[in-house]
Chain A
Amino acid sequence: NAGVTQTPKFQVLKTGQSMTLQCAQDMNHNSMYWYRQDPGMGLRLIYYSASEGTTDKGEVPNGYNVSRLNKREFSLRLESAAPSQTSVYFCASSFDLNTEAFFGQGTRLTVV
Chain B
Amino acid sequence: QQQVKQSPQSLIVQKGGISIINCAYENTAFDYFPWYQQFPGKGPALLIAIRPDVSEKKEGRFTISFNKSAKQFSLHIMDSQPGDSATYFCAAFSSNDYKLSFGAGTTVTVRA
Q: Hey, which bits of chain A sit against chain B, CB under 8 A?
A: 4, 40-45, 50, 58-59, 90, 92, 97-98, 100-106
- Chain B CB count within 10 A is highest, among A4, A40, A43, A106, for A43
One digit per residue, 1 when the CB lies within 8 angstroms of any chain A CB and 0 when it does not, for chain B 1-28 equals: 0101010010000000000000000000
Distance of A86 from chain B, by nearest CB (Å): 17
Distance of A45 from chain B, by nearest CB (Å): 7
Contact A45 B100 (CB under 8 A): yes
Distance of A109 from chain B, by nearest CB (Å): 15
Contact A103 B43 (CB under 8 A): yes
CB-CB under 8 A for A42 and B6, given A97-B98, A100-B46, A105-B42: yes
- Expressed in whole angstroms, the Cα–Cα distance for A59 and B6 within the complex equals 19
- A44 cross-chain contacts in B, Cβ below 8 A: 102
Contact residues, B21-58 vs A (CB, 8 A): 34, 41-46
- B98 cross-chain contacts in A, Cβ below 8 A: 50, 97-98
What are 12 A-B residue pairs whose CB atoms fall within 8 Å in the complex?
A41-B2, A42-B4, A42-B103, A42-B104, A43-B44, A44-B102, A58-B99, A59-B99, A90-B43, A92-B43, A98-B98, A103-B44
- B46 cross-chain contacts in A, Cβ below 8 A: 100-101
Chain A at the B interface: SS class: loop
Distance of B35 from chain A, by nearest CB (Å): 12
A-B contacts besides A58-B99, A101-B46, A106-B43, 18 pairs, CB < 8 Å: A4-B43, A41-B104, A42-B2, A42-B4, A42-B102, A42-B103, A43-B44, A45-B100, A50-B98, A59-B99, A97-B98, A98-B98, A100-B46, A101-B100, A103-B43, A104-B43, A105-B42, A106-B41
- A41 cross-chain contacts in B, Cβ below 8 A: 2, 104
- Expressed in whole angstroms, the Cα–Cα distance for A101 and B2 within the complex equals 20
One digit per residue, 1 when the CB lies within 8 angstroms of any chain A CB and 0 when it does not, for chain B 69-85 equals: 00000000000000000
Distance of A37 from chain B, by nearest CB (Å): 8
Distance of B32 from chain A, by nearest CB (Å): 9
- A90 cross-chain contacts in B, Cβ below 8 A: 43-44
Contact A43 B45 (CB under 8 A): no
